[in-house]
Amino acid sequence: MTGRPEGSPPGAAGPPLMEARNITKILGGKLILDDVSLSLNRGEFKVLIGPSGSGKSTLLQCVHFLLIPDGGDVLLEGASAVEMGHKNVCAFRREIGMIFQDFNLFDHLTARDNVAIALRKVKKVPKAAAMARAMGELERVGLADKAGLYPAQLSGGQKQRVSIARAMAMEPKLMLLDEPTSALDPELIGEVLNVIANLARGGMTMLMVTHQIGFARHLVNEINFMEDGRIIERGHPEALLADPASRTATFCSRLSELTGNQ
């Protein structure tokens, strides 16, 4: 069992919060995920890294059941998504927040309305209460002063922080983040990573696809390295990155050379 970075919130004892069991997915006749299993205890923060096309984003979408796995199952607090069936899978998805690369904000709504809309439409929260909750979440990500602005008036980093606020407003049990900084200019990446770090320190359970290795090294509980549709290595960041024989260390070293990051 891997250790935890100092200061990271411990996972709860007992069964995992989320279990992805033997997930298989075929897209366009190609095997994208090949018998992948992964679990998260409450309060854990794990990342998926690996080369392009290795199945990282597909795995996140299968965990969220945006893509239905061709084999395997996903359990959230012991409840099986497969057993829920298509009619009830929306209830399963509501328990999981999903952050995409491209923000997915409504251009015709202000930041506050973007955060409040799911509360109003999905959870049927009264407008006043939804707006109050939206303001609280925007304040949490440092954007209370931008509540009345539209996406076109926001920077990329601010848009992504609005999308995080929107997901958190739904009180998810698990957050999935699919390369949340990949669409950002370098100077904007830090503001989004700071928000994610604060969520981790606050005990939010998260699974993130990222190439921000310096960030992952100091904050996450476990790195999972994916290649050819499988997790081929997993372990504590310091252990994997310190082992010159590991595929993770080799990949991250080459990534650092390309990006100039240490």
Task: Dump the DSSP string for 143-198.
Answer: -GGGTT--GGGS-HHHHHHHHHHHHHHT--SEEEEESTTTTS-HHHHHHHHHHHHH
**Distance, CA of 3 to CA of 42 (rounded, Å):** 15
Q: pLDDT: is 46 or 13 the higher one?
A: 46
The rounded radius of gyration (Å) of the Cα atoms in the chain is 18
pLDDT > 60? residue 4? no
Which neighbouring-strand residues pair with 156?
A: none
pLDDT tens for each residue of 27-40: 999 999 999 999 99
Q: Could you report the per-residue pLDDT of 193-224, keeping only the tens digit for each? A: 999 999 999 999 999 999 888 888 888 999 99
Mean pLDDT value across the chain: 89
Which amino acid, one-letter code, is at 232?
I
28 vs 235: CA distance, rounded Å: 32
Of residues 116, 102, 168, the one with CA closest to residue 141:
168
Q: Give the pLDDT score at 11.
A: 44
The counts of H helices and E strands in the chain are: 9, 10
Q: Which domains does the chain have, with CATH numbers?
A: 1-91+212-262 (3.40.50.300)
**Cβ-based burial of 141 (10 A; exposed 0-12, middle 13-18, buried ≥19):** buried
pLDDT digits (tens, 9 = 90+) for 80-109: 998 887 778 888 889 999 999 888 899 999
Q: Please tell me the pTM assigned to this model.
A: 0.89
pLDDT reported for residue 2: 35
With a pLDDT cut of 90, the percent of the chain lying above it is 71
